[in-house]
Amino acid sequence: MNRISKITPYMTSRPPSSASGKPMPPVEFSDQTAWAAWLYFVDEMTQSDVAKALGVSRVTVVKLLNDAKERGLVNVRINPSLAARVKTSRLLAETYRLNSAIVVPENPQRPMIKQLGDASAFLLLDGLTKGDVVGVAWGKTVLAAIEIMQLEQPVDDLTVVQVAASPNGLSADFSPELCVSLCANKLGARSVSLMAPALLSSPELKAMLLNEPTIRNQMDVIRSANKVIFGVGQLSADATLRESELHSAATIDKMVKSGCVGALLGRFIDDNGAEMTGPTHDRMLGLSLDELRSIPKRVCIAGGKDKFAAILATLRGRFVTDLIIDLPTAEMLIEAAET
């Protein structure tokens, strides 16, 4: 069934034509403006279909719809919750000097991680161009964004790179390899994985691996990323970082006692977003936090009040250009900046 067939019953046959050959408005409507407004706003036809029904150009339809608003035939109301969310998004972006902030509303019917993933996928795909190198971290929220990615039009010469090496105990359900390969598949891009463990046994072994031609070439491509999508880790007993076994529980507990509030790419940060060195710092392979900060577009997905301190530290450290977050945590971040 085509779109024009959605018109109300009086449109079962085409309205009479005027001397000019254009369809006349049905008797229910005072003029062409009212008819156009009804077809577009009530029957939910596209502007192109309205133009066909009226026998006019699409430009004329736009003018008719604007005229309908000016004459009061159509009243546009913004849902108060949407207005509040937009206001929060703009204030959050302004407060933390972000390019953009998308604030996701609370929805008890849908897991927050899925809502954050939807918004993140949209933001990452926006402006994707030929030759882009997209860095991908790992985690449940990052995977949620990747799973719903879908390009409307193919983009040539895309590369997806793995910015964090693989923790030994990380579940295959959201591992770096899965996130990178799935993202590359969704975007029709080539994939570059980091074929080495995230935590090595010694700084000397790390130096040796970085001198290996294969690893060196992989790192060169990874460092060329101009976009990246990543999450923020908190350090509670049920944290994904603990589940990954990248760091031992004893190491994480020691870092927390020293003032660590969160982790990015498996690396520890304090409440101001400064990287904290610990017993594993010199043995970690993958993108450094300074290198992360140098990527032009840095899309961060984070949500939940349990991650508030880690998210605040990430913003203070200037690691984020574009943020996707839930409404309650966004409000907490704005309040924190005002105190």
Q: What is the pLDDT of residues 218-273, one digit of tens each?
A: 999 999 999 999 999 999 988 888 888 888 899 999 999 999 999 999 999 999 99
Residues 147 and 264 in one domain: yes
Q: Please give the pLDDT value at position 152.
A: 77
Q: What is the pLDDT of residue 86?
A: 85
Same domain, 52 and 111: no
Q: Same domain, yes or no, for 320 and 179?
A: yes
Best-predicted range by mean pLDDT (77-81, 104-108, 109-113, 323-327): 323-327
- Of the residues 26, 44, 70, the one at which a domain ends: 70
Residue 277 lies in a domain: yes
pTM score over 0.85: no
Task: Identify whether residues 164 and 20 lie together within a single domain.
Answer: no
Instruction: Please indicate, yes or no, whether residues 190 and 241 belong to a single structural domain of this protein.
Output: yes
Rounded to an integer, the average pLDDT of 97-102 is 93
Per-residue model confidence (pLDDT) at position 171: 53
In the chain, the number of structural domains is 2
In a shared domain, residues 139 and 89:
yes
Range of the domain at 24: 3-70
One domain for residues 102 and 13:
no
First and final C-alpha spacing in the chain: 58
| 75 in any annotated domain | no
Last residue of a domain, one of 46, 70, 94: 70
pLDDT at residue 10, rounded to an integer: 36
Q: For residues 29-43, give the mean pLDDT.
A: 88
Model pLDDT for residues 141-170, shown as the tens digit of each residue? 888 888 888 887 889 999 999 998 887 655
Q: Is residue 288 part of a domain?
A: yes
- pLDDT value at residue 227: 95
Of the listed ranges 9-18, 20-29, 115-124, 150-159, the least confidently predicted one is: 9-18
Specify the CATH number for the domain of residue 84.
3.40.50.1360
- Residue 239 belongs to a domain: yes
Query: Do residues 184 and 275 both lie within one domain?
Result: yes
Same domain membership, residue 282 and residue 174: yes
Residues 182 and 331 reside in one and the same domain: yes
- Both 18 and 91 in a single domain? no
Residues 142, 213: one domain?
Answer: yes
